Structure formats: C-alpha cells, structure tokens
Structure 1
Amino acid sequence: MGHFSTIRHATMDTQWSLAEATKCLMKFINTGAIGPINGTFKMYSIVQQSAADVTFMAALISVTVQDPPPPDRYIIKIDPRSGTVLSSELASITRAELEAICAEAGIGPVETSQRYKDGSFSVSYKVVCGESTPYIVQLRSNGNLDTIHAVHDLVTQKHPQAIPTPKLFKTTVVPRAGLPVQISAFVDGVMADVAYSTLGLSEKSQLLKHVARAFEAVWSLIPLPPDSEIGEALIDPATHALSVGPDRRYRMGGPFQSVSSFLEAWIRRSVRMLQEQEAVDEYKSKYLDRILRFTATMPACIPECVNQVPIVTTHADMGLHNMILSSHPPHNLEAIIDWEFFYCYPFPYSVSCLIEPLFSDLSETEIENGAEETLRAAFWGEIPFWRHVLSLEHCKIFQDFFNFGLYLKVEAVRGPKTTVETHWQAWERNCRVVDAFLSRYAPCLLYVTMLKEIDPDGDLLITLIPSAEPFADESLFDAESGVDNGSEASVFETEPDPNGDRLMSEPDDASATEIEEIAEPLAPTFQFKVSSRNMASASRRFKKMLLGGWLEATTIHADGLRHVDMEGFDPDAFAIVMYLIHGLNKKEQVPREVGLEMLAKIAVITDDLGCYDAVALASEIWLQALGDTLDAATETYDRTMIVSMLIANVFADRSRFRLYVEQAVWESTGPIPTMGLPIPRKVVDTISASREDLIDTAIKRLDDLLESLMGGSECYPACQCMLVGSLTLAIRNLGLGPHPQRPYVGQSLNALVKSMGKIQTPKWSTPGCAHSHNCNISRSIAEIVAGLLMFSPAEFGDLFPTHPLLSL
C-alpha cells in the first residue's frame, strides 16, 4: 500500500536518466499527444524512477481560461535509454472503481461523483455517498499512504485542535491507473490562499496565531534525536516507528547524515537547475561563474555550527494553498490537507519556504502601514520558544545558505513587452539575496583580493570588481556609422531600490555534470575600507544608499563592517577619489598631474558617485595641467574629443564643453558614439537635433533658391534653364535630393558646407560666341553658407549642463 520513488542517491547516472526522460516527455507532449498545447503550460511531476524507466504524471494547464475545469492528467512511462514512450494513459477512476473503493472504505454506495479541484500531484473526485455525505477520493502520484495515515492518527491523538485535519478512510482497491487512492471527508470552506488577501489585518493576525500553533505542533509531532537523518519521514502505521528515506520532494537523494550535507545538496540542485534554465542569459553572465566557483569549494565554506540546527518533523508543503478556512467570518482554520510530503527537515526550512511568504505577500497599502511587522509579531509571539531558536547564530547561518539556494535560480520572464530592464526588476530579490550571500561569504571564493585601507578605522568595505572590457573602447567609435554604441545617461541617475512551492513546467532538472575540479582564480578584486560617514557626506549615491534604509545600510557582516559591491571602475582612479572624499591629498595618494585617460576614469567615478565637490579642487589642477591636450581636442572629432567632452561636462569646464559640442555638431554623421561613457542622452540628442536642424536649413534655403530661379527672373530663358539645371544637379550631388529625410545618417555638416562652397555659376556660351550675364548663384550659395557658419553652441544657453556648477 505504501508508494514512493525508488531514488536513493542523486548519482550522475540517475541525473542523466531523468534529464533524458524529461526531454523525451516534453517532445511527446509537444506532439499534442495529451491535448492541444496552444494557450497552455506544461505541468509534470515524477511518479517513480527506476533503472529502466521513469514514470511521470503530466497535464496541460490553460492560461487563457479563467477558473478552468480540472485538467486531464496522464501517466506516461518513458525509457530514457532509447528515448521512447513505453505507455501513456489517462489518470482517472471509473464509476465502477469508485463504487468498489467507497464500498470497501465503508462509506456507503455512491450517489453522485464529479471531478474536483486537483492538488498539484493528484486527480480528485468529489463523491456523495449514503445520507448525502460528501467525500474526496484522490489518485495520489506522490506520497506514502502508510505514512499519511499514520500522521493523521498521531495528529488526532496529540494535537486535534492545533492541527485540524479531515478524517481519512482506507482502501486496498487499486484503479487501472495503478496509483494508490486516498479517501478523506470533504471539508466545506474556502482555500486560504484565495481568502488571505481579502482579510483585514486583525483577521490575518488571528489566523496566523493559529497557523503558528499548527507549525509548532507539527515540529513536535515526533521528537527527533539531534543526529537524526534528513529526508522523507516513513512511519510504520502499526507502531508509529519512524525511519528516514531519500528526499523525493526535491529529488536530492539522501537521506542526509548532517545539516551541512543537506545544504550542500540543496545548493547543488539549484545550481544544476540554473545551468539548464533558458532565457536568463543576462543573469547567468553576471552570476553563474561566481556561483560555480563558490560551489567548487562549498564543503569547506559551510560552517560546522549549522549542524546544531534542530531537525524536526515537517509538513513540507504546509502553505496557505493547503489550508481550508471557514467560508464565513471570522474565517477560522478548518483543515490542513495534503500530507504527502511529511519530512524530517531542519527547522528553518519551514521559515524560508512556508512562513516568510505569510508576511511578504501583502498589498502596497498594507506594507506602507507596517502590516508585515504586525503579522510577524503575531505569528512568532504565539510560539516564543521557536522565535528564540530562530534567533540563534547557527539558524541564521543556515538561513543564509538555504536562501542562497532558494533564490540563486531565476525564472525566465516571458511576454511581448519584456525588456532587459523588466528582467532585472523581476529578479531584484534574487540578485539581492545572491549578492548579499556572496559578499558575506566571499572568503570562500577563489578571488585574488587586494585591500586598501583608506580609513583604517572605517566601518564600510567596498569591493570593486574591475570591468573586463576596455575603457571607452575605440572600436566603438566610428564617425561614419552614425550608430550610438554608448550609454543612455549618467549612471548616477539610477536610485537603489529598498525592497528587498513551485510546480515544474518545462524541464528544470535536466542533465548537468557535477563540479569535479576547482576552477582557476578570477581576475583580482579590490577592497577599500572607508568611512560610511565620509561617503554619505560626499557622495549623493552613498547618501541614498547608507541613510535610506537599504540593505547596505542595515546589514552588519561577520567582520563588523557594512559591505557594498561595485563593478566596472578602474581601481587606481577609484582609490584617488576615495582619498579625496576622505580629505587625504598627499602626493602618493592624489597625484598633481594625471593623463587624459586617468582623468576620464576619475570623471566616470565622480559622476556615478555624485561627489563633485570632493573632487572639484583637484580637478581644477588636473584640467590646467592638461590644457594643451584638451584644447587640441576641440579641433578633432575622434575618441579623444568624446573623452574630453565627458571630462568637461563632469568637471564644469564650460568653455571647452561648448567647443566640443560645436565640433560634434559640425563633424558628426549621426548620433555621437559615447563608447559606454556616461555622456547624458540629453547632450547626445541635442547635438543630433542641432546637426539635423542645420542640414534642414541648408536644404530649405537651397530649395528656396531653386524655386526663385524657376519662378522667373530678368535672366534670359536660356540662362535661367542653365542655372536651374546646374543647381538641381549640385543639390543631387550633395545627397540632398530629392526630399531627403532626417537623421541624414552619413552626412556631416562640415562636409556639406565645404561641398556647397564649391558650387560655381556656369558660363554660358554658344559656338563662336561667348555671352556675358549678371546672374550668379555663387553669391546666393555663399550667403547660405555664411548663415550656417553663424551657428554657435552659445545659442543653446544652459541646455547641456549636468554638473551643478555648469548652471552657475
């Protein structure tokens, strides 16, 4: 009667077998074998795995129909070696089978039956038997029925008030589908996950007090020794003796002999899933290599103290979706259902996976009104002993590692309007958890770290990872391309964000090799020990970060410091800025002269941190020393000029900035390539608009001249025709006709004006005779060119400044 998977250890062979079987399953479903796939997502669970085959339960869940009926679920057996489907049949119970099941269970003849709401891993029927009493009959694809019945017996004996459960009935009848059957009394009410958002704060608080007592009762249902194994709890129905089996819920293998080995398996499982996840390339490029390097040395990184975390009996799926409330106020807890995942797990597992969502799944209004802390206090205030246990250091460290595994894998963000920005918004919490973890446990990584103590008594540690890309890469500059390869705006415009039981759909546990060798070290990282007070005083960015209640402001790490990670800056330039922020200016700390490249790197950091005042005096000295180089850049249009424009913009060099702008207007052939430098979009767009407006002006005036010639004049008709034809041909050769459109990519204003200056009035002659005339388009062209040459960026007033000093 017991039913559970035969997986004992998650070996490489079983991982490969499961991966191949999952691929075959997806291919089979995509053929339409179990129904049309359009407008659905695929849901599946593993029923059983052996050396020869893997059995799945699979269904197509509608995403287009609101409140769809229970889907048809299929039992599909696959041979992973050959990639063939051995069998596929509908998971169902016939009327005759229902009659036999209910008769043996002693609940009377069946009056009516209908499909009912399925659980994640079951096919359910609501059956009305004698005296119109309703029951739920389920085909179970997961869980050990012997254990489920034993748990219900124990709950009824020990904690019937704290853990309300529906009465169970036994049967030995096995339907054609081959899955075990569970029968329970029907509980009338509303699912808690549906009702929770409709409850007021007081109702939620009362409910969570009962939920807290239920968790406490489950954790103490069977006292476990400190050295208990970790895995599925298997309970003898007669003696209630407990043994521990492999972990089926997450297919991690086991049972595990220690908390540290459980954590290692948990994190490795998540890493394998991340490696196989598709459509998350941005996230992988940022984090996967660092995560792999951590897992390569993970056994040595998990502190021994985590093995002091208590192991408790756990309903591993005891979320709101498995709680039934009374239909009418005060919405009391009527039943906790679906006990197929009864496990011996470390106590904080329930906190991360099941309890914390009770406090975080709130409306914006509730969050603003402090509901999270109110609900947290209501829950833990009901069970003060466990609140104390959770506060112990070994439990906190366990949660660090467990949450790292919980959040390191992200889900793909799909939809017609998704962008890179929406991806990172969806992954904000994942990034926050992973960044905080790797920051705290960075000594376990194979980084070469160089520490510079700007302030030996500092309380803030900045870890800088330099960019692997060249600074202002010259290959991105192509004056003829008209393509902007640079950034959109100063990165200082970005404010930090304070906000800090999944079913399978598509393969998420496919093949992946274990990390067998330690990877080569990454490029060096640089750490700067600084004063948070100085940073907040001098830097706009750090002021928001450290005084605004963000994670960086509130987290004190094991070394007693707050930690901040930064990427992309030159470490030498960063050190100079840090010294200036801390009021240090010795020659060996702050050089009196720097090259153009170094000054540009300092400008990028100054702009990002918003620390203009701290760098102002030194920048005046540097600008004066580089005067000749910066002046020469006003006569060119190349990488040096763009870099110089950045420097002038950040360090308030108004006169040179306007010369650079003028040069860019005249020489650019499209939007200026910023090469990744934080030149504001406003500047780029205004330069482009000015260039295009002047080309518009040239076109209009040439057209006006042509119209005047065609409209008649005192000129001879033959002379008139000659001038009109000559000007029309000249306009065509300039690339300005017929009717060109903005943005005139490939056309520079300077080249246009030079070409216009070459337009000459033709001479009119006939055989044996030359004719003189006073008609002259050269003078008209010269007037147009003179008007264009009157352009000056001074006309734009204070259109460009981004530095506060530029508006003075």
Structure 2
Amino acid sequence: MDPLTHVIDPNGEVIIVLLNAGSSFAEMSEDKNKKKGCQFVLDPLEPLSPPIAEPAISEDPTPTDEPILSAEPVPTGDTPAERAVQQPVETGIVPESLDGNSFRIQVSAKHLMFASSFFRKLLTGLWKENVTNLERSPVEITAEDWDIEALLILLRAIHGQQYQILRKLTLEMLAKVAVLADYYDCKEAVYIWTTTWIDAQEEEVPKTCSRDSFLWLWISWFFQLPARFEETTSTIMSWSDGWIDNLGLPIPDRVIGAMNKRREEVIDNLICRIHQTQKDFLNGSRGCIYECRSIMYGALTKEMQSNDLLSPLPTSPFPGKNYQQLAQKVSKFKSPQWTAWTSRSSAFDSPYRHNCLNSTFATIFSGLNGTIEGLHLYSFIS
C-alpha cells in the first residue's frame, strides 16, 4: 500500500485517494458541453502504517464564527494556480501503485459526515455497522481530476483547521474550491472565508468576455454576490460572439439559458430596428421630403451592407456577432450631408445645408445602450 501524502486527521478513518490530479478546468474549447461525473469506491484496507509524507496536524479546536487571530503568521501568499479540475469522473479499483499525479489523504469520517451531505450518504451505513473495523482498517474513497491544493483547502475547512488556510487565493483557485464545495454540498464549511477571499481578489471582473469572466460568473453565483453577478452577466452577454455555455462549471442551466435568451433578444431588437428604419425611409413614413428620404435610405442601405446586416439577414443565435461591437458600429454610421435650396423671394433661391430630425443617424439611433443589462441574482434563487 502506498504511503500517505497528506494527513488532515492522523486518527482519521478514511483515506481519500485522488487520481489524475490537476486535469483541465473550465477550458474554452469545443468540449465545453461534455458531461462529467464522479464515482467512489469503498474498500477496506489493511491497518495503516504511520504516515511518512508529512507530520500529523494537531486537532486543537479553532473558532469558526469570527476572524482568525493567531500568534503564528497567517499565510497570505497566492496558492499556485495549477491546471485544475473538471468535476471528477467515476473510477474503478484503486491502483496498487500511485503515480505522481495521485495523492492519499487521511481524513476524519465524522468531520466529513457532519459537513457534507454527500459524504454523509456515502459513509453513514458503513460507519454505523463497522465503527470498530474502520478504526483499525480505514476505507478508501477514490476521486479523480480534482486539483490537490483546492481539495486540501476544502478538507482543512471541513476539519476546522482554519490556521492552515490561505487568506488570499487566485481567482482560479477560488473557483476550484467553490466547485468542490458545491459538488460535496458543504458550502457552510467555507462560508466564513467568503468575504476574506473575495476582498483579497486582485483580478477585477474583465471588461470583455473571457475565461476569467466565466470564473467570476461561477463565483458570484455560488457565493451569491448580486453586484458581481449582474456585472459579469452583462459583460458576457454584451461581448459574447455566439452561444454562451458554462465551460463545464456547475452554473445552473436556467442562468445560462436566460443569458442566451437576453443576448439574442437584444441583438435581434437592434437589427430589427435598423431594418425597420430602412423600410420607413423606403415607404415614406420617415424623412421630411423626397430628397431626404432617398438620400437617407441609400446611406443606411450602404452602412447595412458594409456591416453584414443587409443580406442575408442575420438570424439567431447570431454567430460571430457581439452586441457591444454591433451597437458601436451603429452609433458610427456615417450620415450623408447635402445642400438643399429654398426660395427666399421670387427672384432667387438660396442654398442651405439640409438638417432635420431624420437626416442624421446619431439622432435616429440615439439612446442606444452600449451594453446589455445584467441579470439579477435573486430572480434565480427560490
């Protein structure tokens, strides 16, 4: 049997065997919609030999309802942002020998069961029937693909080892911890760290659609941060060039669906507005005189053609188009200028530059919002 690599509880009755640690996490790739899952194997083991990878950590109780105060310096450095997790995959028999991407972590069954409904369901029956056997011969729980640093942060939080937890995490590490807490249904274990971790974030919500935007979307959803959620959904919807998905993060389908629906509706409304304006110039319901209607119709048609808005008519889900850039292009439609003539007397006409409410695109498309309004978090929380 391979030695332990980490000890959370030296008297723990459970060994978590993490295989294939540090697999890809929230990748913006073609496999974004691939389904993931996890399965565990419970196997009785031979009695444990003393751990050799790291010394036992004391189990002195630490208050969890107020900021940590310690004579020892509390770690404040960023946890290295390793390549991380998709949700774990079902595993089979535990390998006889673990490779460099595998870890063995000794933990307490009681702590796991108290903090996590997932572990409670998994271990309750076995615990009641085999307490004595478990103390002599722990069971193994195998998981796959999780990031080892994120898993250790969660396990230490579950075991009340608050002094061992970093106050500052990278954005990616925070997202990984949130995925784990969500999967194992133990959000309360990290609840007291929410404000500390969020306030320590150096990465602001990006101003364009990017991977970090989706990490912030997940974090703002999981930790219920209304302002960040609204800002992030606005950014992603405004800048997305096509169908929005969750990058494999456990963001509810109803949220992603609402984002796609709003993005498509707003783009469709803008395109319909442009085409309706063109029709209005053509049928004479817009424009003050014949020359005004004709010149503005031609100018608008040329702008529509040059921006791929004329034919074929763009249709949902509008691939390759993002609302922010589209709105910016419309706001920069070039208005024609021309000279008209008016009779000041019966003797002669005077030229003047034509100017009416329908002779400039800036006036016609005034009030155009450059971004899509973000979603409201609490409308998705029952």
Q: What secondary structure is seen at the aligned counterpart in 2 of 1:635?
A: coil
Q: Is the contact between residue 670 and residue 745 of structure 1 (CA under 8 Å) also seen in structure 2?
A: yes
Mapped to 2, the partners of 1:465 and 1:495 lie a distance apart of 12
Measure how far apart 1:661 and its partner are: 0.7
Q: Which amino acid aligns with 1:696?
A: D
Mapped to 2, the partners of 1:559 and 1:471 lie a distance apart of 37
Q: 1:456 to 1:722 in 2, by over 3 A?
A: same
Mapped to 2, the partners of 1:672 and 1:666 lie a distance apart of 11
Q: What secondary structure is seen at the aligned counterpart in 1 of 2:319?
A: coil
Q: Which amino acid aligns with 2:272?
A: K
Q: Is the contact between residue 756 and residue 781 of structure 1 (CA under 8 Å) also seen in structure 2?
A: no
Q: In the TM superposition, what are the counterparts of 1:741-760 in structure 2 within 5 Å?
A: 741-760=315-334
Mapped to 1, the partners of 2:173 and 2:10 lie a distance apart of 26
Q: Is the contact between residue 206 and residue 212 of structure 2 (CA under 8 Å) also seen in structure 1?
A: no
In the alignment, which residue of structure 2 is the partner of 1:793?
374
In the alignment, which residue of structure 2 is the partner of 1:782?
365
Structure 2 regions of 5+ residues with no counterpart? 42-95, 342-349
In the alignment, which residue of structure 2 is the partner of 1:620?
195
Which of 443, 453, 469 in structure 1 is aligned with 2:23?
469
Q: How much is the aligned-residue C-alpha RMSD, in angstroms?
A: 3.4
Q: Which amino acid aligns with 2:378?
A: D
Q: Is the contact between residue 459 and residue 532 of structure 1 (CA under 8 Å) also seen in structure 2?
A: yes
Higher RCO structure (Cα 8 Å, ≥6 apart): 2
Q: 1:559 to 1:731 in 2, by over 3 A?
A: farther
Q: Is the contact between residue 40 and residue 141 of structure 2 (CA under 8 Å) also seen in structure 1?
A: no
Q: Does 1:457 align with 2:14?
A: no
Q: Does 1:740 align with 2:314?
A: yes
Q: Is the contact between residue 541 and residue 610 of structure 1 (CA under 8 Å) also seen in structure 2?
A: yes
Mapped to 2, the partners of 1:461 and 1:484 lie a distance apart of 32
Mapped to 1, the partners of 2:39 and 2:379 lie a distance apart of 24
Mapped to 2, the partners of 1:452 and 1:568 lie a distance apart of 17
Measure how far apart 1:780 and its partner are: 4.5
Q: Does 1:570 align with 2:124?
A: no
Mapped to 1, the partners of 2:368 and 2:110 lie a distance apart of 57
Structure 1 regions of 5+ residues with no counterpart? 1-442, 478-482, 498-518, 802-806
Mapped to 2, the partners of 1:553 and 1:668 lie a distance apart of 52
Measure how far apart 1:622 and its partner are: 1.2
In the alignment, which residue of structure 2 is the partner of 1:651?
223
Mapped to 1, the partners of 2:255 and 2:380 lie a distance apart of 6
Q: Is the contact between residue 292 and residue 359 of structure 2 (CA under 8 Å) also seen in structure 1?
A: no
Q: 1:486 to 1:633 in 2, by over 3 A?
A: farther
Q: Does 1:596 align with 2:171?
A: yes
Sequence identity percentage? 26
Q: Is the contact between residue 14 and residue 106 of structure 2 (CA under 8 Å) also seen in structure 1?
A: yes
Q: Which amino acid aligns with 1:540?
A: S
Q: Which amino acid aligns with 1:718?
A: E
In the alignment, which residue of structure 1 is the partner of 2:185?
610
Q: Is the contact between residue 13 and residue 134 of structure 2 (CA under 8 Å) also seen in structure 1?
A: no
Mapped to 1, the partners of 2:299 and 2:247 lie a distance apart of 42
Measure how far apart 1:678 and its partner are: 2.8
Q: Which amino acid aligns with 1:798?
A: Y
Q: 1:467 to 1:496 in 2, by over 3 A?
A: closer
Mapped to 2, the partners of 1:736 and 1:609 lie a distance apart of 48
Calculate the TM-score normalised by the size of structure 1: 0.36
Q: Is the contact between residue 539 and residue 609 of structure 1 (CA under 8 Å) also seen in structure 2?
A: yes
Q: 1:533 to 1:759 in 2, by over 3 A?
A: same
Q: Is the contact between residue 17 and residue 141 of structure 2 (CA under 8 Å) also seen in structure 1?
A: yes
Q: Which amino acid aligns with 1:619?
A: T
In the alignment, which residue of structure 2 is the partner of 1:724?
297
| Bigger CA radius of gyration | 1
**Cα deviation code 1:21-52 (max 9, x no counterpart):** xxxxxxxxxxxxxxxxxxxxxxxxxxxxxxxx
Which of 666, 669, 679 in structure 1 is aligned with 2:241?
669
Mapped to 1, the partners of 2:40 and 2:281 lie a distance apart of 62
Q: 1:484 to 1:688 in 2, by over 3 A?
A: farther
In the alignment, which residue of structure 1 is the partner of 2:120?
543
Q: 1:568 to 1:759 in 2, by over 3 A?
A: same
Mapped to 1, the partners of 2:35 and 2:368 lie a distance apart of 33
Measure how far apart 1:621 and its partner are: 1.0
Work out the number of aligned pairs and report it: 315
Q: Which range moves more in the overlay, 574-583 or 538-547?
A: 538-547
In the alignment, which residue of structure 2 is the partner of 1:705?
277
**Cα deviation code 1:177-208 (max 9, x no counterpart):** xxxxxxxxxxxxxxxxxxxxxxxxxxxxxxxx
Which of 522, 525, 535 in structure 1 is aligned with 2:99?
522
Mapped to 1, the partners of 2:251 and 2:295 lie a distance apart of 49
In the alignment, which residue of structure 2 is the partner of 1:177?
none
Calculate the TM-score normalised by the size of structure 2: 0.71
Mapped to 1, the partners of 2:122 and 2:104 lie a distance apart of 18
In the alignment, which residue of structure 2 is the partner of 1:379?
none
Q: Which has the higher strand share?
A: 1
Q: Which amino acid aligns with 1:577?
A: L
